[in-house]
Structure 1
Amino acid sequence: MKKKIFIAAAVVISSQLQAQQDSTKLLNEVVVTATKFPIKQSLTGKVVTVITREQLESNSGKSLTEVLNTQGGLIVNGITNSPGTNQDVYLRGASAGKTLVLIDGIPAYDVSGISGAFDLNLIDVNQVERIEILKGSQSTLYGSDAIAGVINIITKKGGDKKVNATANLSAGSYNTYKAAVGLNGTANKTNYNIQYTNLNSKGFSSAYDKAGNKNFDKDGIDENIFRANISQKITDKLLLKFTSQFSKYKTDLDASAFTDDADYTAATKNSLAGIGADYTFGNNIVHFNYNYNKTQRIYKDDSASIGGFAKYSKGEYNGKAHFIEAYTNLFIKKNTTVLIGADYRQQVTDQNYLSISSFGPFTTALGDSAKVNQLGVYASLVLKDLKGFSLEVGSRYNSFNKYGDAFTFSFNPSYLINNSIKIFGNISSGFKAPSLYQVYSEYRNPDTELKPEKSLSIETGVQYEKENVNIRAVYFIRNVKDVIAFYSSGAPSYASYYVNADKQKDKGLELEAAITVDKIRFTINYTNLDGYIETKKGTKDTAFFNLYRRPKQTINLNAGFDICKNWNMNIGLQTIGKRFEAVYAAPPIEMPAYYVWNVYSSYKICKMAKAFIDLKNITDEKYFEVNGYNSRRFNFMAGVTLSF
């Protein structure tokens, strides 16, 4: 059966009529994340990947993390588990929390979590205009958590018309239904965008029923997301911006790998609110932003269906973050720009947990005294196109009231040959501050304060673009010192706490290409990854591979084409290599490699309506992203997008 599907896919590709429009001209594409002001990709030595609005629209029915998971060097673990599953972002093999998520250039955190990583379940892809993925250490411009890079999610703004209404309605496998509606426009110097999304799915059992006869219950999700952006042009020089987002979802959980729990739930709420201003003087702009981020997570297990250790448990985790920044880009000369900025962050959490087992009640609590403040100042100099040569150099000084100080730098040269070949090399340092949980919980270090993890990244590469070919190759090395590890002394005291003890050394190769051949547009990326950690055992240093759940080799291949004027199709293949899964008090286990075929097709019914269908895992491959937890077999989403 699988061979027949492969042959059919090949026939479809080779017998197409018209190709997808060429969009391989990437060196002239303008990006903002690399330098915090607009710049052509050809003029920056940084490695940037852009997911455009057109690409997002051709992926209707997918989640944000499903789109991200096909990018070179980027793995999102958990995307094919049951809806609502926690999704860890691994960029270039870095662990969770070491890739900073930006929403419209503003850092987004969950300061109540162990890693501090923002929950990408809280963002709907229908509300996103474009995504810029900036790889390599970016702490000089963006501060803590940007050791592996940043993912800048740029949301939709108002359109050119006074009123424009949109809707996206879809349904699919596992009794999944999704509705997204929006209203946007521009009137009297006011630009507005309002959007609402509801997602509901009955789902399937999160835990894998190994015996096949235990009738594990389904684990679903109910989610609502509301977002509004408003900008007002006060004068020709002054622009005010207001943003808000409220997200909440409730999802069912299971006790652990291979273990069901019929009444274990998680409820997450997140509120984002911000105000900003841009003031233009000459060719220069001063930017000011303030953002408030509040997250609440409640985990509750309160019935006779006991899948874990406790008979009853409830945990509530609250986090609040304030972010203030001001920066300006000064265009000194035609080829010279200086960026100067400062930001201030305050993070607070309060947490409490209660469990009742046969041994009695157990409680932990963190008051709102669990607080950290940090102040950062930074500057960079950008030289552009000096007879093909471009350079960015920058530095940041970050001061914490709890951890001590951190200093970072970046050095990013590049050289453009004949407007088609870019050679680049980057050296940059980064840092990740300890999370509030690591510093204030019952597992805080009793002897010394934790220090930030500090990294040094080196990358070199070449990018070639001509006519219908765009190819990029990058080799990177990343070394991290003072890695925060969880230490346990064992018997008889069983003392357990976080320490700065280890060194992490990672390296990898990324190959990416976009090629149009015989009217078919192919995109392909290949990632080869390796890494290990050095840790002390007694008086000796021990090194071992520790990139758990991160495959050493990954391939993503997509072929897109137009069957006719209004009908297009994309066929995608993802192969995930072998990887290892950590097991408590036992050696890690090897997880088998797997592959997934996907087919997406859309048809433009009229100017205002488009129908689509997204077929995923069409060969019904059985695989596991995480040991003991189910992944989606063949499934689909189908629907219609409307614009008025």
Structure 2
Amino acid sequence: MRPILFTAAALAALSTHAYGQTPVSELVVTAPRLATTPELVTGLRTIERDEIEARQATFAADVLNTLPGVSVFRRGVGGLATVRLRGAEADKTLVLIDGVPVNDPADPSGAFDFGALQLADVERVELLSGPQGSLWGSDAIGGVIAFHTRELDGWALEAEAGSYGSVRGALSGGLAADRYAFGGSVAGFRTDGVSKAAVGTEDDAFETVTASAHGRVDLTDAVRLDGRLRYTSAEVEIDGFAPPDFRLADTAAINKSRAWSGFGRVTADGPWGFTHKLSLGLSDLTRTDVSDFPSRFTADREVWRWTAERGGTEDPWAVVAGLERQEIAADLDGRTGADLSTSAAFAVGRARLGPVTATASLRHDDPDAYRSKTTGRLSLAAELGAGFVATASAGQGFKTPTLSQLVCDFCFPAGPALDLKPETAEGYDLRLGWRSDDGAWSAALTGYRLTVKDQIAYVAGRYVNIARTRSEGLEAEATGRLTDQLSLRLAYAHTDAIDMTTDASLLRVPDHSGSASLFWDGDRLSGALTVRGESSQADTDVDGFSRIRRKGFVVADLAGAWKLTDRVSLTGRIENLADTRYQEAYGYREPGRSVFVGVRVSD
């Protein structure tokens, strides 16, 4: 595995341009709050719709695991899937769908479960690594992953079937014009699966359905309305720690979930060139465990947000400022959670001073249950000539205890947690990027350091502030258009993440990880070959407590499509091409070689 990873790292220092991706100079992203281009921001990556389709990716984890500094922990197909950014715990990754936070307030850590997040209605994924408290408040210590759903003018149909009794289908459509648009989509996936427990013999099925709808209309030349709504239901058979051994094995447990998220927004052009936006974002989640120890958790979030923005990516200066009120409530299987509502004010500004661009952000959060917190971030980008841009940044983050931690759910003896403090973080980045004059080749090398203080841990039956963690590493990435039809995308990351109180490696963070993808985009034939690998890493043994070293792995996936007509294409893909036996989470099995065939129809 190491030769593959280090070869990818070496190539990453030399080449780049992502498959079908908009040239970097034209791509505009919004996860940094103020619309910007990627070369001005450290730790920013994007995955566009054409790459999702070329790889025929079904779930978010299928594309996130190829990005540098991203570690995906998945308990089998459809099982709990969490993402760690730059070694930070999964609860420190803030997840947004169309700008609405969707992390689970009822989960003990507050993390987001990526297990059922389908990509059928997703247009673009933005990853912003490093502490982003000054942009998004609590939970963004490791970074932010933002999903933007699609607006279609026409319709598209996909159907697929394959190994392990798997079937997948998606139907989407819409009508879009300058002054209005509306549409929707529905996507479903089902598989008989394999046993999630590596020692198990009973297959664990998984099925999920996602539906979405969107609309926008210009009421006048200066006032616009838009909104989106997304619904997901999932049911997955899971394995657990049944008596008398209490070790990971086959169980008859089932996890059911239902999630809503969406927003409504009014946009108005105001005086002095400012654009004002007032939005209401909502998310609602219900999780039900059907097992020997049944439980039901519910949580909902309401986010009111107002922003005023002026300036575009080409303007000498730009600014956005806003106010936000977030209401959070949860029911922890009959136990009402504490109040974690908060109010906030923030501002982001950017100024170009010749070859140097400075970006600064500041945010003041005032949680109802805790003392207020102010966080900031500063970034400087300098054009060095010959296509090189150097960018340096420093930022802060924080995370308030979750509802489950405050109530001290699962604590022994029972009773609320005492004197829990919010976690705080500081992060530093230095990036050297290069892009060819024609935009066909680019590369970047990023070094970073992230420290987290007062990290909350579950120790001896209680939640306490004990840990101080440190992650530092190197991320290399490259994309390049080799010919008119052939493109290359490479990524490598070295991550050194430790608990500074014990000097032990943090769980589920590989020291080395990397990926290499080739994309072919011909007149009739298109396809993608992706190889990715991880080194060994610390994990939890099948008893659920002891530490163990999970082996590293290298896997490859191949996808292709043949265009029969301008509207109809046949598709095929092979996952785990070499039939590798591997585990993304210790003790949990991943499927062997899987073959899928399907059809795409669009208008």
Is the TM value for this pair above 0.5? yes
Cross-structure match for 2:105: 111
Contact 1:404 1:451 in 2 (8 A): no
Q: Which aligned pairs between 1:560-575 and structure 2 lie closer than 5 A?
A: 560-562=519-521, 564-575=522-533
Cross-structure match for 2:173: 183
Cross-structure match for 1:484: 456
Contact 1:28 1:41 in 2 (8 A): no
Cross-structure match for 2:7: none
* Match for residue 370 of structure 1 among 328, 331, 338: 338
Q: Distance in 2 between matches of 1:445 and 1:313?
A: 20
* Match for residue 382 of structure 1 among 338, 345, 350: 350
1:314 aligns with 2:294: yes
Q: Distance in 1 between matches of 2:332 and 2:168?
A: 33
Distance 1:27 1:610, change over 3 A: same
Distance apart, 1:404 and its partner CA:
2.0
Distance apart, 1:376 and its partner CA:
0.9
Distance apart, 1:479 and its partner CA:
0.7
Distance 1:143 1:313, change over 3 A: same
Contact 2:19 2:489 in 1 (8 A): no
Q: Distance in 2 between matches of 1:505 and 1:56?
A: 33
* Match for residue 343 of structure 1 among 299, 313, 324: 324
Q: Which runs of 4+ in 1 moved over 6 A?
A: 19-22
Q: Distance in 2 between matches of 1:338 and 1:224?
A: 39
User: Secondary structure, in 3 states, of the residue corresponding to 1:120?
Assistant: coil
Aligned-residue sequence identity (percent) comes to 21
Cross-structure match for 2:562: 603
Q: Residue deviations 1:597-633, cap 9 Å, x none?
A: 2211111121112222121111111112222211111
Q: Distance in 1 between matches of 2:512 and 2:359?
A: 32
Q: Residue deviations 1:35-92, cap 9 Å, x none?
A: x2332334x23332111121122122532210111111112211xx533211010111
1:41 aligns with 2:38: yes
Contact 2:358 2:380 in 1 (8 A): yes
Q: Residue deviations 1:532-557, cap 9 Å, x none?
A: 1133xxxxxx43222x1221100101
Contact 2:399 2:424 in 1 (8 A): yes
* Match for residue 274 of structure 1 among 263, 282, 287: 263
Structure 1 range deviating more: 255-264 or 459-468: 255-264
User: Secondary structure, in 3 states, of the residue corresponding to 1:248?
Assistant: strand
Cross-structure match for 2:405: 438
Contact 2:59 2:116 in 1 (8 A): no
Given residue 218 of structure 2, which amino acid in structure 1 is its aligned partner?
Answer: K
Cross-structure match for 2:385: 418
Q: Distance in 1 between matches of 2:27 and 2:173?
A: 28
Cross-structure match for 2:466: 501
Given residue 268 of structure 2, which amino acid in structure 1 is its aligned partner?
Answer: Y
Cross-structure match for 1:455: 425
Where does the alignment leave 5 or more consecutive residues of structure 1 unmatched? 7-18, 302-311, 353-364, 489-495, 536-541
Larger Cα-atom Rg: 1
Distance apart, 1:156 and its partner CA:
0.5
User: Number of residue pairs matched?
Assistant: 576
Given residue 420 of structure 1, which amino acid in structure 2 is its aligned partner?
Answer: G
Contact 1:268 1:296 in 2 (8 A): yes
Q: Residue deviations 1:197-251, cap 9 Å, x none?
A: 1111111111122xxxx7x221111211111011111111111112212211111
Q: Residue deviations 1:11-41, cap 9 Å, x none?
A: xxxxxxxx9977583244222222x233233
Q: Which aligned pairs between 1:3-152 and structure 2 lie closer than 5 A?
A: 23=21, 25-34=23-32, 36-42=33-39, 44-78=40-74, 81-152=75-146
Contact 1:445 1:498 in 2 (8 A): no
User: Secondary structure, in 3 states, of the residue corresponding to 1:313?
Assistant: coil
Given residue 251 of structure 1, which amino acid in structure 2 is its aligned partner?
Answer: V
Q: Distance in 2 between matches of 1:152 and 1:446?
A: 33
User: Secondary structure, in 3 states, of the residue corresponding to 1:464?
Assistant: strand
Distance 1:217 1:499, change over 3 A: same
Q: Distance in 2 between matches of 1:156 and 1:250?
A: 25
Q: Distance in 2 between matches of 1:625 and 1:21?
A: 26
User: Secondary structure, in 3 states, of the residue corresponding to 1:610?
Assistant: strand
Given residue 231 of structure 2, which amino acid in structure 1 is its aligned partner?
Answer: F
Distance apart, 1:99 and its partner CA:
1.1
**CA RMSD for the aligned pairs?**
2.4
Q: Distance in 1 between matches of 2:315 and 2:478?
A: 32
Distance apart, 1:448 and its partner CA:
3.1
Distance apart, 1:447 and its partner CA:
6.8
Q: Distance in 2 between matches of 1:21 and 1:99?
A: 26
1:581 aligns with 2:531: no
Cross-structure match for 1:165: 155
Between 1 and 2, higher relative CO (CA 8 Å, sep ≥ 6) is seen in: 2
Where does the alignment leave 5 or more consecutive residues of structure 2 unmatched? 5-16
Cross-structure match for 2:12: none
Given residue 205 of structure 1, which amino acid in structure 2 is its aligned partner?
Answer: S
Given residue 543 of structure 1, which amino acid in structure 2 is its aligned partner?
Answer: D
